[in-house]
Chains A and B, each alone.
Chain A
């Protein structure tokens, strides 16, 4: 190799390394799945024992084994965004998270990661939400509640996005590193986006300046979900936050519903959860935008709803 050749190769490789931003778009996968399955299926269950409730709501969907295969790398993504206690209704309930993680382990998962990009100091949120302790109490080294590593936010191009063409995503949540992504949001009031449920929970696996999402929030939230494909969405509506969300803090704003909603269709899950607040699915901009992108069914009359 002479010098010229060497320099050319260096230039070519560095250019390649700079340009090689992975491109993501789950539309085709979702379309194929919806074609195969036909009508979207959604399960609703009510009960006081949240661990049993998880099993109950998963039953009509075929149990956790229908989603988690042996040796899968699973991500369970609750909302751990806030320095708030479980009864304040700002984070996903720890018992729900624990039961889901436990079921993933029972289904033979190789690794179950639980994390979130928190708004308050991560250590406080992990402790106060009770989720860290809940995952650790399982006592299985395969299940870990981990703090996000700043070096793992990678740039991703979002194909067919209407507003957000490129953003930083957390590597462990991308389909390349994770076989099954389970979204476990809590249903809450949110002044700007009206409600925050499953779609918006993707805010916890993105890096960079999250304030950018707030400029045209509904479309941008839907665009994020072109990258993050939740194989399963379990909406925690054991208690919902009616006012002063998404932070909460006032117990009078929390309504205990003891309800879980599960579906493989993230749009249907959000649409159904919206009705718990006495709202119509189309009132939520992100649901409408996601349905337009073909990510799921927002018309609840076209969804098969099973009360388990």
Chain B
């Protein structure tokens, strides 16, 4: 069948790409608080469709994660249809196609220029790179090291959109609408754009530059060759390719006509070789060869008789060995790098609520950035090296980054709803309050009522527990004028503390706060007594016994 309903196949593919990209972006936009405690669901579907992420998380977490059932469906479809996901569905692939098309005047020339070199490289090492990455990711996962988040296309894409594109977009729109006032643009257009197209407010993240750089490189590689990332680097694509080796649906004929060879020139995935014919593990069913065949003899179908030449999956022995070596060496190096630390987990590395053991969390977390995207207060930030090399891009609470806003909201459970692997376990409000991942401690050398005998207790004001976890100890001081002034000194009942960090984010001291969140498993920091006694004019009162 060369056309479907008289419409060329490549137009069907393009339509599917566009629709699915819009669906993806719509889901991305919906990954935000919108008035209900429960999200509609399905926001993280892209990750749950990804068999690479699923396999890596299950291997690393040593458990079967039922949430990945869509990936199983996709595996089944790939066994039948081949690597259609890469050509028809993947939002990164679609964006790369659009980017390539947008810069066609440039990409055409640069691609032409680099083609001979890349062909040579491709013949030797380039072709094996994606398999090497795939082996490294899976092997690292077996060693409970989460390498997948650093190379999985969806993690890279969603993080890039969350950390870079979204804040940029929001700020650009703000700049465009600045001063639009009572005009039509200000009263009609701006509210519409704000409500439907923009995030609620521009967020701020660590590692923005790194995320931007990774995406920029992936897009810039289009200058070298079309779909460079998908062709030679993407490990998820490599996995789809392996599944597609004996797919039922394939291009017929599997050979390339010797006289013409136009399709081999046209192929964006290197799937057609004038000599060897079709490589099913590379073909993404983009349908260009169907529509552009001068003789009109190419089509995709079940061709049981037409078996492609059995071709090795571009995987040299050297490639396999390097993959294995990297899969072992990277976790090995990371573990070695952390051996030097006396305490492996820094006390201020607070994980999202409900998260238990650090090791399990790190192996299950795929660094997709969904939790940081959905967090309404921007308190969830990617770790840099606080959790060791292995912890880069994993979420942590940073209560002081965005002043007065960075706290974990008392009733919010959104991060647990979007986590595709259960690294952040599914929470209810009650569960969340019973499983805090941190507790607050005062620093009596900074806290104003303790260190300077100045009234403050903003932390107590903010504390959200129905019975305040921060309690007040009333004392008096006699000023120089002989006046008796009441000082309210705060202390904390850590049984009641839910570790939300609102006290730290709102502490009136700038810089390091006078009350700080600590990991729940960290020892008492010992800051709840004064090292230097203030010049007290009256008699000092005994500090309350802390729990």
> Quick one: CB contact mask for A183-214 with B, threshold 8 Å, 1 for yes?
00000001110000000000000000111101
A246 to B507: give the CA distance in the assembly, Å: 16
A246 to B458: give the CA distance in the assembly, Å: 11
> Quick one: CB contact mask for A218-255 with B, threshold 8 Å, 1 for yes?
00000000000000000000000000101111100100
Binding stretch for chain A, among B11-19, B294-302, B309-317, B465-473: B465-473
**Is B506 an interface residue when CB atoms closer than 8 A count as contact?**
yes
A209 to B510: give the CA distance in the assembly, Å: 10
CB distance from B176 to the nearest CB of A (A): 13
Binding stretch for chain A, among B210-218, B284-292, B360-368, B402-410: B402-410
Which residues of chain A are near B467, meaning CB under 8 Å?
244, 250
Binding stretch for chain B, among A23-31, A33-41, A47-55, A121-129: A121-129
CB distance from A306 to the nearest CB of B (A): 34
- Tell me the residues in window 167-193 of chain A with beta carbons closer than 8 Å to chain B beta carbons: 190-192
A127 to B35: give the CA distance in the assembly, Å: 6
Whether B462 and A247, one on each chain, are in contact in the complex, defined by CB atoms closer than 8 angstroms, is: yes
Q: What residue of chain A has the Cβ atom nearest to residue B200's Cβ?
A: A123
A244 to B471: give the CA distance in the assembly, Å: 10
**Is A215 an interface residue when CB atoms closer than 8 A count as contact?**
yes
Most A C-beta atoms less than 10 A away, residue of B33, B35, B464, B507: B464
A212 to B404: give the CA distance in the assembly, Å: 12
Known: A120-B410, A190-B461, A244-B466. A217 touches B455 (CB 8 A): yes
**Is A257 an interface residue when CB atoms closer than 8 A count as contact?**
no
CB distance from B457 to the nearest CB of A (A): 5
Whether A215 and B507, one on each chain, are in contact in the complex, defined by CB atoms closer than 8 angstroms, is: no
CB distance from B505 to the nearest CB of A (A): 10
Whether B409 and A124, one on each chain, are in contact in the complex, defined by CB atoms closer than 8 angstroms, is: yes
A217 to B449: give the CA distance in the assembly, Å: 14
**Is B463 an interface residue when CB atoms closer than 8 A count as contact?**
yes
Which residues of chain B are near A127, meaning CB under 8 Å?
35
**Is A83 an interface residue when CB atoms closer than 8 A count as contact?**
yes
**Is B508 an interface residue when CB atoms closer than 8 A count as contact?**
yes
> Quick one: CB contact mask for A68-93 with B, threshold 8 Å, 1 for yes?
00000000000000010000000000
Whether A121 and B466, one on each chain, are in contact in the complex, defined by CB atoms closer than 8 angstroms, is: no
A191 to B455: give the CA distance in the assembly, Å: 11
Known: A212-B508, A249-B466. A191 touches B472 (CB 8 A): yes
Q: What residue of chain B has the Cβ atom nearest to residue A246's Cβ?
A: B461
CB distance from A142 to the nearest CB of B (A): 12
Which residues of chain B are near A121, meaning CB under 8 Å?
33, 376-377, 405, 409, 412
Which residues of chain A are near B472, meaning CB under 8 Å?
191
Q: Out of A83, A192, A216, which one reaches B461, CB within 8 Å?
A: A192
Whether B488 and A192, one on each chain, are in contact in the complex, defined by CB atoms closer than 8 angstroms, is: yes
- Tell me the residues in window 112-132 of chain A with beta carbons closer than 8 Å to chain B beta carbons: 119-121, 123-124, 127-128
Q: Out of A124, A192, A247, which one reaches B463, CB within 8 Å?
A: A247
Known: A83-B409, A83-B411, A151-B178. A211 touches B461 (CB 8 A): no
Whether A249 and B454, one on each chain, are in contact in the complex, defined by CB atoms closer than 8 angstroms, is: no
Which residues of chain B are near A192, meaning CB under 8 Å?
455-458, 460-461, 488
Known: A127-B35, A211-B507, A247-B463. A83 touches B410 (CB 8 A): yes
Q: What residue of chain A has the Cβ atom nearest to residue B194's Cβ?
A: A147
**Is B174 an interface residue when CB atoms closer than 8 A count as contact?**
yes
Which residues of chain B are near A210, meaning CB under 8 Å?
404
Which residues of chain B are near A150, meaning CB under 8 Å?
201
Whether B35 and A191, one on each chain, are in contact in the complex, defined by CB atoms closer than 8 angstroms, is: no
A124 to B507: give the CA distance in the assembly, Å: 22
CB distance from A94 to the nearest CB of B (A): 15
Which residues of chain A are near B409, meaning CB under 8 Å?
83, 120-121, 124
Whether B461 and A191, one on each chain, are in contact in the complex, defined by CB atoms closer than 8 angstroms, is: yes
A192 to B454: give the CA distance in the assembly, Å: 12
Which residues of chain B are near A191, meaning CB under 8 Å?
457, 460-461, 472, 488
A127 to B508: give the CA distance in the assembly, Å: 28
Known: A121-B409, A191-B488. A214 touches B464 (CB 8 A): no
Which residues of chain B are near A246, meaning CB under 8 Å?
461
Which residues of chain B are near A83, meaning CB under 8 Å?
409-411, 464
Whether A209 and B404, one on each chain, are in contact in the complex, defined by CB atoms closer than 8 angstroms, is: yes
Whether B465 and A249, one on each chain, are in contact in the complex, defined by CB atoms closer than 8 angstroms, is: yes
- Tell me the residues in window 21-60 of chain B with beta carbons closer than 8 Å to chain A beta carbons: 33-35
A217 to B466: give the CA distance in the assembly, Å: 24
Whether A214 and B404, one on each chain, are in contact in the complex, defined by CB atoms closer than 8 angstroms, is: no
A151 to B194: give the CA distance in the assembly, Å: 15
A107 to B61: give the CA distance in the assembly, Å: 65
Whether A250 and B466, one on each chain, are in contact in the complex, defined by CB atoms closer than 8 angstroms, is: yes
Whether A214 and B466, one on each chain, are in contact in the complex, defined by CB atoms closer than 8 angstroms, is: no
- Tell me the residues in window 462-518 of chain B with beta carbons closer than 8 Å to chain A beta carbons: 462-468, 472, 488, 506-508, 510
Q: Out of B178, B377, B454, which one reaches A215, CB within 8 Å?
A: B454
Which residues of chain A are near B468, meaning CB under 8 Å?
244, 247
Whether B461 and A215, one on each chain, are in contact in the complex, defined by CB atoms closer than 8 angstroms, is: no
Whether A211 and B376, one on each chain, are in contact in the complex, defined by CB atoms closer than 8 angstroms, is: no
Known: A121-B376, A123-B200, A124-B33. A247 touches B461 (CB 8 A): yes
A11 to B376: give the CA distance in the assembly, Å: 43
Q: What residue of chain B has the Cβ atom nearest to residue A144's Cβ?
A: B191
CB distance from B17 to the nearest CB of A (A): 33
Which residues of chain A are near B466, meaning CB under 8 Å?
244, 248-250, 253
Whether A211 and B455, one on each chain, are in contact in the complex, defined by CB atoms closer than 8 angstroms, is: no
CB distance from A77 to the nearest CB of B (A): 19
Whether B376 and A124, one on each chain, are in contact in the complex, defined by CB atoms closer than 8 angstroms, is: yes
Q: What residue of chain A has the Cβ atom nearest to residue B472's Cβ?
A: A191
A124 to B410: give the CA distance in the assembly, Å: 11
CB distance from A146 to the nearest CB of B (A): 9
Q: What residue of chain A has the Cβ atom nearest to residue B34's Cβ?
A: A123
Which residues of chain A are near B34, meaning CB under 8 Å?
123
A121 to B201: give the CA distance in the assembly, Å: 11
A212 to B506: give the CA distance in the assembly, Å: 11
A128 to B410: give the CA distance in the assembly, Å: 13
Q: Out of A128, A214, A244, A250, which one reaches B508, CB within 8 Å?
A: A214
Which residues of chain A are near B454, meaning CB under 8 Å?
215
Q: What residue of chain B has the Cβ atom nearest to residue A146's Cβ?
A: B191
CB distance from A217 to the nearest CB of B (A): 7
Whether B508 and A215, one on each chain, are in contact in the complex, defined by CB atoms closer than 8 angstroms, is: yes
A227 to B110: give the CA distance in the assembly, Å: 63
Whether A214 and B456, one on each chain, are in contact in the complex, defined by CB atoms closer than 8 angstroms, is: yes
A191 to B473: give the CA distance in the assembly, Å: 11
Which residues of chain A are near B377, meaning CB under 8 Å?
121
CB distance from A207 to the nearest CB of B (A): 11
Which residues of chain B are near A250, meaning CB under 8 Å?
466-467
- Tell me the residues in window 419-467 of chain B with beta carbons closer than 8 Å to chain A beta carbons: 454-458, 460-467
A294 to B200: give the CA distance in the assembly, Å: 41
Whether A211 and B33, one on each chain, are in contact in the complex, defined by CB atoms closer than 8 angstroms, is: no
Which residues of chain A are near B456, meaning CB under 8 Å?
192, 214-215
A127 to B36: give the CA distance in the assembly, Å: 8
A residues neighboring B (CB under 8 Å)? 83, 119-121, 123-124, 127-128, 150-151, 190-192, 209-212, 214-217, 244, 246-250, 253
B residues neighboring A (CB under 8 Å)? 33-35, 174, 178, 200-201, 376-377, 403-405, 409-412, 454-458, 460-468, 472, 488, 506-508, 510
Provide 20 A-B residue pairs closer than 8 Å at the C-beta atoms, listed in order of the A residue. Answer: A83-B464, A119-B506, A121-B377, A123-B376, A151-B178, A191-B461, A191-B488, A209-B403, A209-B508, A210-B404, A211-B506, A211-B508, A215-B454, A215-B508, A216-B455, A244-B466, A247-B468, A249-B464, A250-B466, A253-B466
Given known contacts A209-B404, A244-B468, what 13 new A-B pairs fall within 8 Å (CB)? A121-B33, A121-B377, A121-B405, A123-B33, A123-B35, A150-B201, A151-B178, A210-B404, A214-B457, A216-B455, A247-B461, A247-B464, A250-B467
